[in-house]
Amino acid sequence: MSRRVVVIGGVALGTKAACRAKRIDPTTQVTLIDKDEYISYGGCGIPYYVSGDVADHTALQSTAYHMVRNEEFFKTIKGFEEVVTGTTVTRIDREAKVVWAKGKDGVEKSYPYDKLVIGAGSRTRDLQIPGQELAGIHAVGNLEDAMAIKERIAGGSVESAVIVGAGFIGLEMAEALADMWGIETSVVEIGDQIMPGFVGKQMAHMAQRSMEENDVTFYLGETVKSFEGEEGAVKKVITDKRTLEADLVIMAVGILANGELARDAGLEVGATGGIVVNEKLQTTDPDIYSGGDCIELKHAISGKVGIWPLGSLANRQGRVIGTNMCGGSATTEAPVGSFVVKLFDKSLAGAGLTRKAAEEAGFDAISVSMCQLDRAHFYPEKELMFLELVVEKATKRVLGIQGFAGSGDAMVGRINAVAATLKYKPTILDISNLEFAYSPPFSSAMDIVNALANVADNVVDGLLNPIPVETFEGLWEEGECVFIDCRELPDSTPFKEKFPEKWMTIPQGEMKKRIAEVPEGKLVVLVCNTGVRSFEAQLNLREMGITNTVSVQGGMATLKTWGSKVSE
């Protein structure tokens, strides 16, 4: 008799697993059960649907060639036996190998299986904030939520919106509302930076600033205490510091894995709430597979267990499950946490660990950041790209990379290249030697990633003593030091005039012969355009016996993008 596969949840993982199984063994009988009406939609596209970039929600459910992936599609095109929507699975009876589910009619029915796939997904965390039941307060959990949000906006009644949470979904929704609908948009975030856990403070600050330039307001380190409304609809968001007007509130406060069904069936569920699986994506019952948002996975580098709500991961996992259900032995890998988020005309991306995450994982880590043009400097079109590399000091092992840039594709390509090596535990030398396809329209002869690794190398070896922007800002306010601009005169003149007491100009090429001008006994803060010449100046001064120097990482270009007062 042919293999009966039951799939719980038909968004990304479940349908992929079933389709793969059908391809390997067409006799496989597939039953797909989903609690919602809409299945197999691109959940990551919701912000683009809300913005209007994607006009119609059916586009999120379609194939690249405009076939809607609905019940009919999976039956006739993909050959599933049964597609049951609006139906909630109530229980898995592992002994009888049967799934019980309650249909639209309220009647419970059993579905026997040989192999079961749990793609139960996740739900938005419920913070139980007073007033959260008011109309106009939405999570972005599924397509129904998205349609409700869009309907409200398109109705024209939304003038101001508050987004709770400055992670991916929060920021993407902020762009959608502010950019395309002109809604006054604020983001309230409990942490002290946007994208906490994903990027370091410098990158976060630069990204936040670029969003502020696009009329999004941020309130960091604030907690939403309650919502207030009129006639049942939200009107105000009360935080621990202020009251914000809002006709629309988006709760983007993170997700919880839907692991309950598995737990109730006696399968192992971790402390995160996610289902425990092996590398073949089998749960503790070898005939039951799981993947996507409802499982927990260990980070490849930190080993930290977490939930990974990514459509890309779910698709890859689905294929592995499909293969294994048919007797194959495909395996998944521990994720390195590659991500990217587009924020108006800039992008923020990363892979591996931030410096903070590395320290939390027990690494004695440093991070170095730099900026460089994304193409050959003589090529007409080019932009600055900012990268940060996280490195374990003692071993020079590279633990992570983050980036911020205007040319998103170019930056993400570099993050992906470093990410591809992370499972092999690369050292700085590996990244310094990493071979990027070179041509002036695409990179510098010394690619920014190679250059970044070289900077890290210089720092670990003690050749270069850099400070990040945050430290520069502190020193600038405090004032117990001297700032030397190492650029040539035309570049440095305006600063010299603006800050005559603090700001000296000694071009790097003159540093050694003008050594007498360098004040003794004070910390010397060296600045140039991007940090290359201030590094050279630091070496020049060291050669002349002056060692109490620091070089500003990424130089004036970084100070400017970061929004330092000095660069105004």
For its own copies, the closer CB: 15 or 202 = 15
In this structure, the dihedral spanned by the alpha carbons of residues 406, 423, 256 and 238, taken in order and rounded to 10 degrees, is -40
For its own copies, the closer CB: 263 or 377 = 377
Structure tokens at 535: 């590094």
Contact 289, 17 (CB under 8 A): yes
For its own copies, the closer CB: 110 or 547 = 547
User: Considering only CA atoms, which of 108, 105, 106, 113 is closest in space to residue 90?
Assistant: 108
Contact 283, 291 (CB under 8 A): no
Diameter over CA atoms, the chain: 91
Closest separation between CB of residue 515 and its own copies, Å?
13
Closest separation between CB of residue 299 and its own copies, Å?
12
Closest separation between CB of residue 103 and its own copies, Å?
26
For its own copies, the closer CB: 440 or 563 = 440
For its own copies, the closer CB: 27 or 128 = 27
Q: How far apart are CA 434 and CA 428, in angstroms?
A: 10
- Work out the burial of residue 377: count CB atoms within 10 Å of its CB; fewer than 13 is exposed, 13-18 middle, 19 or more buried: exposed
Coarse DSSP helix, strand, coil percentages of the chain, rounded to the nearest 5 percent: 30, 25, 40
Closest separation between CB of residue 532 and its own copies, Å?
8
DSSP class of residue 283 equals: -
Amino acid at 184: E
Q: How far is CA 272 from CA 91, 305, 318, 363, in A?
A: 21, 7, 21, 23
Closest separation between CB of residue 437 and its own copies, Å?
4
Q: How far apart are CA 143 and CA 218, in angstroms?
A: 27
CA atoms within 13 A on the CB side of 406: 11
Question: Catalytic site residues?
Answer: 44
Closest separation between CB of residue 172 and its own copies, Å?
8
